[in-house]
Amino acid sequence: MNPSFVTCPVCGAQNIINRRLAGYICHFCHFERRASHEAEGGGAVSAGKSFQDIARLFKIKDISEIYLEAGGDSDLLHLPDEYPVKFIPLSHDHRQVPAIWSEMSLPFQENIAEYFSRKYHQLAPGGLLYLSLPVKHRLVKSPTLPGQINFFTSKNIMFLLEQHGFKLHWRRNRFAPVLRIIAGR
């Protein structure tokens, strides 16, 4: 029986996969992909409204509109009055937007390279991308979201951002179970 190989979307390494499971863990960068039928609910990860992160966006760049990734926190559309920003649902048609808020959406993407390419082209030059996602740590049990198929380390995310042309502007606590990043185009 010939082994099946899959290319890691993060580092490009060839990994042997088990045909029955269809998931794998990259032996080089530790990216993990599970098949959708393997995805299970796990420990809760609180995303919540992070008003401090919105304030951080204002400090980096004066933004009046932030485009909210589909499936994001719809409560952000109704911010308190002290935040002079308008959240707008992001569609595939939008181009040259000043900022994109992508909270907990990357763990569910089938094609990671297409996801980052699409975000890069949707942002205006100098635009900002806010990402939050659960990350794996060696010493801490990984939090998982129900139906999550992609599992990252903080190192994987940094590599993916750089690989797709983004520059890191801010990162909150690299060792926290939920990684929050603001990257610029």
Q: Which two tokens stand for residue 79?
A: 């911010």
82 pLDDT tier (thresholds 50, 70, 90):
low
Give whole-number Cα distances, 102 to 4, 11, 68, in Å: 33, 22, 7
pLDDT in tens, 54-66: 777 777 777 878 8
Domain ranges of the chain: 42-143+154-184
The residues, ordered by sequence, that sit 6+ positions from 116 with a Cβ below 8 Å of its Cβ are: 160, 161, 163, 164, 166
Q: CATH homologous superfamily of domain 42-143+154-184? A: Vaccinia Virus protein VP39 (3.40.50.150)
Supply the pLDDT for residue 30. 85
- pTM comes to 0.80
Q: In sequence order, what are the beta bridge partners of 24?
A: 33
117 pLDDT tier (thresholds 50, 70, 90):
very high
Residues of the chain with pLDDT > 70, as a percent, come to 76
73 pLDDT tier (thresholds 50, 70, 90):
low
